[in-house]
Structure 1
């Protein structure tokens, strides 16, 4: 069994496009570890993660990191300080769809408070947790 997951842990993920990295930046009482996956793929494993953890975040998601590492789906390859930018809990946006597929109101959540928007998204809010047009598959 591997060591317990902690804030700052860097996880290596093997994908069809190369090696990718993510970092554990927070632990939420209800949802567990928040993983920040970084944009970019590498041909080989890195030894120094300071540049990676300062690179743009591709996406943020709650993820069962410990279980994934224990099952070999990723590897805890080090620990690095969380950057100032990534130490701030991200704001997530979501909405629900009704039975006919119509989208309901948008909600913003900062890890503690959920707010329903009664207006359209601002330009800044449009960037929050939005989908990206990158696809890859886990190597296996």
Structure 2
């Protein structure tokens, strides 16, 4: 997989689409996961990429090679200009009960503490998601 690859993923409920946005030497692919399944491939693939999306880290190449997911690259698109830099992720630091007590921010290279009071709820969490989570996001479940 390469940045810009639009991948169609076949599920029992329809076809979903993800865009590979970034590669990292220590993490799996960063993906834009478009919400919503399609019965058939849209005549204009831009329709699939107009849907709301989530940013995740997921081993797409490995999952397809292992047969965990069925899919194929169906187009090559430019990564949107606003997202050419590696995505900014948030990482919780948890107490003994598992509650997040503060957050760090990771830009693919450096990790820095989040500023007190900064709104980071919209940022994706730095975690590698599994197949079920990816399929749920494609189906529109967060």
With normalisation by structure 1, the TM-score equals: 0.73
Q: How many residues align?
A: 128
- Identify the match of residue 89 of structure 1 among 86, 89, 92: 86
Q: Is the 8 A contact 1:35 1:61 kept in 2?
A: yes
CA root-mean-square deviation: 2.7
Partner Cα separation in structure 2 for residue 128 and residue 77 of structure 1: 27
- Give the Cα–Cα distance (whole angstroms) in 1 for the partners of residues 40 and 77 of structure 2: 19
- Go from structure 1 to structure 2 and tell me whether the alpha carbon gap of 1:85 and 1:41 turns closer, same or farther (over 3 Å shift): farther
In structure 2, the residue matched to 1:127 is: 122
Query: CA shift at 1:107, angstroms?
Result: 1.0
1:67 equivalenced with 2:62 (yes/no)? yes
Give the unaligned 5+ runs of structure 2: 126-134
- Give me the TM-score of the superposition, normalised by structure 2: 0.72
C-alpha change, 1:36 and 1:11, in structure 2 (3 Å) is same
Off by >4 Å, runs of 4+ in structure 1: none
**Partners of 1:23 and 1:47 in 2: how far apart?**
17
